[in-house]
Amino acid sequence: MQTDTTTGAAITFDAVGKTFPKKGGGNVMALEGISLSVEPGTITGIIGRSGAGKSTLLRMVNGLEKPTSGQVVVAGRDVGAAGAAGLRDIRREVGMIFQHFNLLSSRTVAENVALPLEIAGTPTPEIRARVDDLIARVGLEAFRNRYPSELSGGQKQRVGVARALATRPKVLLSDEATSALDPETTQTVLKLLADINRDLGLTILLITHEMAVVRDIASHVAVIEGGRIVEEGATYDVFTAPRHPTTKSFLSSVTGVTMPNFIARQLVETRPEGPAQEVLRITFVGEKATEPLLARMGTEMGIHVNILAGAVEEIGPRPFGNLLISVDADRADAARAFLGQHEQRTEVLGYVR
């Protein structure tokens, strides 16, 4: 079934819902009212905790799951309405890499990469040329005749990436592809995916529970909680101005702005009587993210700042900083005004004596 996709999105989720039968009768809701457009050539991260519904959402893109309601449209085709032949066509355009690699232990690196082409009935000379090209792209020329048991985790995932690219897909799905890897290997695989996105113009949809992965590679992000998307947008915008508590919780793991326990235990919502400190979160964005604004505020206005936690990060080429500070409550209005004049965002978190 062809569907009109006037938005030009590579993947469209339109009011998608999914329920599963429950033991003892009835249904359990996995997804509800999911609407999301993934634009061609972007890298979009879907982040959520275990059980949030992100894997179910990803599996709908290649028809491994069908929506109970709504539509999933990939490259102009309604996946849920596709018959067997239509699904085969869709799956040729959708590659997938997995958390645990899913390589065949009895096949060499080259033979694992060749498998999707063999299934598609590609002539042998074409298979050989395509496999050579893909193995070179992922940097495994010296390992083409090795078996999976002879490879490191990172090398196995590179084989998985090469195999996912074998049929020249338009969309690449990543199912927690780095969560089984150490941090250094994770960065290597993420760089490979970024290079593929840039060189081939491939649309990448990845699911993860690690905000650092989203920060390092994704241009767009959607946060899923309890089967619903609770926040979405450009990664930089979501990181610098998170709205939903789930997003803020995820961000605390990568921005260095977790509230210190000794402050959290004392924090109250309303200003107490007598001397008090106002606790602020400052988000430094844009060109001024690395300027010494707090030092200037102390010098020019005599407002002294106690820094509680913070870090300067980078999303793509753009820096941003996150700081938790406390200032004398009597001078807090002036401090927030000063920072606002310099285009920085502030949020009052509470007060401590």
Give the position of tokens 């007060």: 351
Task: Give, as one character, the DSSP assignment of residue 274.
Answer: S
Residue 120 lies in a domain: no
Q: What percent of the chain shows pLDDT beyond 70?
A: 95
Taking only the tens place, the pLDDT of each residue in 26-67 is 889 999 999 999 999 999 999 998 889 999 999 999 999 999
Between 333 and 263, name the one with better pLDDT. Answer: 333
Tokens representing residue 116 in the block: 């999707």
Residues 187 and 82 in one domain: yes
- For 172, residues 6+ apart whose C-beta sits below 8 A from its C-beta are 94, 95, 96, 97, 164, 165, 193, 196, 202, 203, 204, 205
Residues 272 and 186 in one domain: no
Q: What percent of the chain shows pLDDT beyond 90?
A: 61
Tokens representing residue 144 in the block: 């083409």
Q: What is the pLDDT of residue 257?
A: 63
Taking only the tens place, the pLDDT of each residue in 17-35 is 999 998 888 889 999 999 9
Residues 246 and 292 in one domain: no
Is pLDDT of 8 > 70? no
Total domains, the chain: 2
Query: What CATH number has the domain bearing residue 340?
Result: 3.30.70.260
Q: What is the pLDDT of residue 207?
A: 93
Report how far residue 329's alpha carbon sits from residue 351's, in angstroms, rounded to the nearest whole number.
8
Residue 69 lies in a domain: yes
Is pLDDT of 152 > 90? yes
Q: What is the pLDDT of residue 9?
A: 74
Tokens representing residue 11 in the block: 């993947």
Q: What is the pLDDT of residue 291?
A: 78
Which one of 231, 252, 273 terminates a domain? 252
Residue 156 lies in a domain: no
Is pLDDT of 3 > 50? no
Residue 266, helix vs strand vs coil: coil
Q: What is the pLDDT of residue 288?
A: 66
Residue 27 lies in a domain: yes
Which one of 223, 252, 281 terminates a domain? 252
Q: What is the pLDDT of residue 255?
A: 60
Residue 89 domain boundaries: 11-93+169-252
Q: pTM to 2 decimals?
A: 0.83
Report how far residue 302's alpha carbon sits from residue 279's, in angstroms, rounded to the nearest whole number.
18
Residues 227 and 261 in one domain: no
Burial of 122 (0-12, 13-18, 19+ CB in 10 A): middle
Residue 330, helix vs strand vs coil: helix
Between 257 and 236, name the one with better pLDDT. Answer: 236
Taking only the tens place, the pLDDT of each residue in 182-230 is 888 999 999 999 999 999 999 999 999 888 899 889 999 999 999 999 9
Report how far residue 75's alpha carbon sits from residue 10's, in angstroms, rounded to the nearest whole number.
5
- What does DSSP say about strands 69-74 and 77-78: parallel, antiparallel, or unpaired? antiparallel
Report how far residue 309's alpha carbon sits from residue 325's, in angstroms, rounded to the nearest whole number.
7
Residue 320 lies in a domain: yes
Residue 60, helix vs strand vs coil: helix
Taking only the tens place, the pLDDT of each residue in 280-296 is 988 877 666 677 888 99
Amino acid at 176: E
Residue 78, helix vs strand vs coil: strand
Q: Per-residue confidence at 2, pLDDT binned at 50, 70, 90? A: very low
Mean residue pLDDT of the chain comes to 89
Residues 85 and 176 in one domain: yes
Give the position of tokens 């009835």: 26
